Amino acid sequence: MSLPGSAVAAAVRPDSIAEVVDVLRHTRPASVLPRGAGTKLDWGAVGAPIEVDLDLRGLAGIVEYNPGDLVVRAMAGTPLDVVQADLAEHGQFLALDPPEAGATLGGIVAAGASGPRRHRYGTARDLLIGVAAVLADGTVARAGGKVVKNVAGYDLMKIYTGSFGTLGVIVETTWRLHPRPPDRRVVTFAGHDGALVRRLMHSALTPTAVEALGEALVVVFEGLTPAVRAQADAAARLGEGVVTTTVPAGFGVRPWLPDGIGLKIAYEITGLDVVLAALRRLPGTRVVGRVGVGVLEAGLPAIDRDQLDRLRAVVARVGGTVVVLAAPEETKRRLDVWGPVGDALPLMRRVKDQFDPEHRLAPGRFVGGI
Amino acid sequence: MTGELAAVIRDLRTAVGAQRVLTDPLQCRTYECDGLTHFRVSPAVVVLAECTDHVRATLRICSAHRVPYVARGSGTGLSGGALPVADGVLLVLSRMREIVELDIDNQRAVVEPGVINLSVTRAVASQGYFYAPDPSSQQVCSIGGNVAENSGGAHCLKYGFTTHHVTGAVVVLPDGSLVHLGGKVIESPGYDLLGAFVGSEGTLGVATEVTLRLVRRPEHIQTLLAGFRSVTDAAGTVSDIIAAGVLPAAVEMMDRLAIEAAEAATHCGYPPGADSILVVEVDGSAAEVAAHFADVRRIADARGAFEIRVAADDAERALIWKGRKSAFAAVGRISPNYLVQDGVIPRTALPDVLREIGRISADCGVRVANVFHAGDGNLHPLVLYDDAVAGETDRAMEANGRILDLCIAYGGSVTGEHGVGADKVAYMGRQFTPEDLDTMQRVRCAFDPAGVSNPGKVFPTPRLCGEAPGARSGVHPLQEAGLAAVF
């Protein structure tokens, strides 16, 4: 995939943290785009031209894995599916399921990418317990550690997650793991609305995913066989649910086409019907999302500035925001892809200035032109 | 009193009302320490804030005069995070104790920082919800303090820490400006500054309103108490439970000395003769709990538990927890003085680390009682001593330090939930490199360039925020370094 806004002068593929440091030191003040497998390079704003394409796939492999501690430390360029294969041998997994095949750990962190299991386990924000990053000036800095419970120092894992590479080059990640559930039941409702989601949320059921998939609602239970069986049967009775053992086609897949528009909409959980009604007014919209936590993704063939503004106004009424994640470059140039950020934007700029005073890391791709 | 301080007091009285500004040394002494009582500093001024405007005015005035401030909730912290600065302002938030909104449908509560942790659960329990983080001090500690410390608790093994349960905060920055971080929604565009703020120990600003996640109460809860003849058997049970793929809500462990103390204080009736006990709680759906609980029992049996008690109802469960939750205070029954530690180790290192703690205890000639969150490797060794005995305080401090070094050596952390505060500042440089700490302080510089917010906590050496980034060198072509091809 080509880099948006690209006028790439050089592609670099370091094999070690020391080489990443060298690259950053020797290319100052050239602009740098840290990246993994490049599965989400079209996310975010177009940004300024990139002079150094910093490919981190050479930093690959599990560094430390002691199954008894339910923790794994791996280089940032390691693909998630490679890590999962190793963990599966020990009956464990990293509870992240973004759908992009081949995506690396570092890219998932930088883009804050997640999937259906977010309902139960959260995102990279909630599972990343340690990180090493190389800052724009070549400083190697770690935060967190390799124990799940740790409040020593600032939690930089949180601000790197979803920072789109603008604060530092993530080179190593340490994760909390979970036991791999032995069995699964899937309850599919043909239609859904806020009332069904509400009944589900206020029940004592403990699904791992509550997922809108077009007009359907898919509720996933993972765990011991008798437990998931009992829960799925109870869930099915909340509406006219059908119980199966496999998820339907398209489950958790981003709902946009390669040349289409991909939106991410966060809203207060009870605002579902309001958001869905607004989306249905846009022709050709497909919706997928985590309705139990209040995050929807929408794919549509096109959107103009007025339509986006109107959608944002509606979503704001239920406390939410609309981000244009994916879109053709020329469309992105016409839109405010991140939308209003609120009164913390000046503070975010100060954080950026502290970490990357020359604004050379992924310049212009983040909120407010950061 | 310095001239600056006199000006601050004058301005504060005008801004928030003289009745909310305490300067009488006797009154100020009330706030000289938090739960870490061997660190004491009386503040020059105390402000009793009642609203966000009071907080904004106080911080604006402090910043303008470059006078430091320290925020404080209920003062139950165990690392001296709320230890005042002698020539500074202590900002008390415990009068801001209104539950602003309960929004059950959105699974959120909006509260002021002085609201007591347990009050949140009490307010929503009748609707089938609870607030998950449950520090042992939950009957008195405040949400603002929980946010500052990223408080945990016995049940965070399954449910996570405060950071996983805060979705929004209204924060007054050290210069008095106001920012809204997050809200009722789970995510917002931009850096996750809320995530950086939670656990920043009062060094980045003051939260005046916090939005909390409410969690549906589990359908079923089962709690057991198991007595073991050896600490190794108890630790092995913990490892086997985790290896079996069970994620209990809580796994707590106490050793012989801690049991003895709890017994003396609460008559909790733990199994007599036990060298260690485990409290294991499993929650979830009925079928899930039944299966996992059977696993736990089987494992404890196989590891030689000589007595297993299962709580038949909430009253029996409360009794099992009573001994554990009061353990810190209870050691006061068996020792005139004690130090509480909060180190963390990888769970699998538990038997080795306990053996080494035993050795340290013998070397230093002080007793160490062990109470801990075994499920996540969070140790709370209680170093017992008598400050009336010559040299014993020093030996207790030595044991304390050696235990923290041990945690670092095993790849752990010096604090799992109590915070660094004033207490463990000296150890930060052992756990992190100067570059690590300097990078964390870049965040500090963005929030608090003047360095007035809780100075001297968390970081051993402050970063000068005006510093230019490292020496700027000319641009070296990549190809010269042999790192890239030009195309």
In sequence order, which ranges of B198-313 are alpha helices (DSSP H)?
231-243, 256-266, 286-302
User: What's this model's pTM, rounded to 2 decimal places?
Assistant: 0.95
Contact A159, B191 (CB under 8 A): yes
Residues A52 and A124 in one domain: yes
Can you read off the two tokens belonging to residue B255?
Answer: 């050793």
DSSP 8-state class, residue B468: P
Q: Which helix (H) or strand (E) holds A310?
A: helix A305-317
Residues in chain A: 370
Q: Are residues A115 and A204 in the same domain?
A: no
The set of residues, in sequence order, having a beta carbon less than 8 Å from that of B151 and lying 6+ positions away, is B117, B133, B135, B141, B145, B161, B162, B417
Read off the pLDDT of residues A82-122 as tens digits, 9 standing for 90 and up. Answer: 999 999 999 999 999 999 999 999 999 999 999 999 999 99
Q: Mean per-residue pLDDT for B226-232? A: 93
Count of CB atoms situated within 10 Å of the CB of A20: 27
One domain, residues A147 and A270: no
**Residue B259 above 90 pLDDT?**
yes
Distance CA B20, CA B27 (A): 12
Hey, what are B448's tokens?
A: 């608090």
DSSP 8-state assignment for residue A2: P
The helix or strand, by DSSP H or E, that contains position B406, with its residue range, turns out to be: helix B392-409
How does the average pLDDT of chain B come out, rounded?
92
Q: Give the domain range for residue A36.
A: 1-180
Could you give phi then psi for residue A165, rounded to 5 degrees? 75, 10
Domain annotation covers residue A349: no
Pair B120, B166: CB distance under 8 Å: no
Same domain for A161 and A29, yes or no, is yes
Share of chain B above pLDDT 90, in %: 82
Buried b (16+ CB within 10 A) or exposed e, B230-269: ebbbbbbbbbbbbbebbbbbbbbbbbebbbbbbbebbebe
Minimum distance, in Å, between the CA of residue A23 and any CA atom of chain B = 7
Closest Cα in chain B, distance from residue A35 (Å): 16
Of the ranges A262-271, B107-116, B236-245, B355-364, which one carries the lowest mean pLDDT score? Answer: B236-245
Ranges assigned E (strand) in B67-117: 69-72, 89-92, 99-103, 108-111
Q: Does position B470 have pLDDT exceeding 80, yes or no?
A: no
Chains A, B: CB contacts under 8 A, how many? Answer: 304
CATH topology of domain B218-328: Alpha-Beta Plaits (3.30.70)
Do residue A27 and residue A86 come from a single domain?
Answer: yes
Which portions of chain A are predicted below pLDDT 50?
1-2
CB contact at 8 A, B253 and B277: yes
Question: Among the three residues A138, A165, A180, which one is the final residue of a domain in this structure?
Answer: A180
Distance from CA of B351 to the nearest CA of A (A): 13
In 3-state terms, what secondary structure has residue A132?
Answer: strand
Co-location of A89 and A215 in the same domain: no
Q: Has residue B144 got a pLDDT over 80?
A: yes
In B, residues 68-87, which contact A (CB 8 Å cutoff)?
none
Domain B3-92, what fold? Answer: 3.30.43
**Weakest mean pLDDT among A73-87, A254-268, B52-66, B234-248:** B234-248
DSSP H stretches of helix in A141-282: 156-160, 194-201, 225-236, 272-280
> So what's the pLDDT on residue B476?
34
Write the ipTM: 0.97
First-residue to last-residue Cα distance in chain A: 23
Rounded Cα distance, B213 and B130, in Å: 9
Q: Does A230 touch chain B (CB under 8 A)?
A: yes
User: What CATH number is associated with residue A311?
Assistant: 3.30.70.100
d(CA B319, CA A50): 63
Cα–Cα distance measured from residue B371 to residue B276, given in angstroms and rounded to the nearest whole number: 10
User: What are the structure tokens assigned to A221, written together?
Assistant: 């239970």
Q: Please give the CATH number for the structural domain made up of B99-216.
A: 3.30.465.10
Residue B432 contacts residue B398 (beta carbons within 8 Å): no
Q: Strand, coil or helix: what is A218?
A: strand
User: Residue A270: closest CA among chain B residues belongs to which residue?
Assistant: B106
What is the pLDDT, as a whole number, of residue B331? 87
Grade residue B487 by pLDDT with cuts at 50, 70 and 90. very low
Which of A50, A135, A147 to mutate: most B Cβ within 10 Å? A147
Calculate ∠ Cα B355-B269-B274, nearest 5°: 30
pLDDT at B468: 44
Report the SS3 class of residue B432: coil
**Residue-level pLDDT at A207:** 97
Let me know if the fold of B218-328 is the same as that of B335-448: yes
**Cα A17 to Cα A56: distance, rounded to the nearest angstrom:** 10
Structure tokens at B325: 């939750």
Residue A64 tokens read as 């430390």
A212/A95 same-domain check:
no
**Are A148 and A91 part of one and the same domain?**
yes
Assess whether pLDDT exceeds 50 at residue B427.
yes
CB B259 within 8 A of CB A192: no
Strand partners, A11: A53, B485
- The pair of structure tokens assigned to A312 is 């944002």
pLDDT at residue B332 in the model: 84
**Inside any domain, residue A352:** no
Within a domain: A41 = yes
Quote the pLDDT of residue B486. Answer: 31
Residue B481's pLDDT band, with cuts at 50, 70 and 90, is: very low
**Contact A316/B at CB under 8 A:** no
State which fold the B335-448 domain adopts.
Answer: Alpha-Beta Plaits (3.30.70)
CATH number where A78 lies: 3.30.465.10
Q: Do A164 and A37 share a domain, yes or no?
A: yes
pLDDT in tens, B266-320: 888 899 889 999 999 999 989 899 999 999 999 999 999 999 999 999 999 998 9
- Asked whether B117 and B211 are in contact (CB, 8 A), the reply is no
Sketch the domain layout of chain B as residue ranges. 3-92, 99-216, 218-328, 335-448
Name residues 45-104 of chain A within 8 A of B (Cβ). 52, 66-71, 91
Tokens (6 digits) for A45: 């704003």
Q: Is B173 an 8 Å CB contact of chain A?
A: yes
The pLDDT score that the predictor gives to residue B151 is 96
Asked if A328 has any chain B CB less than 8 Å from its own CB, the reply is no
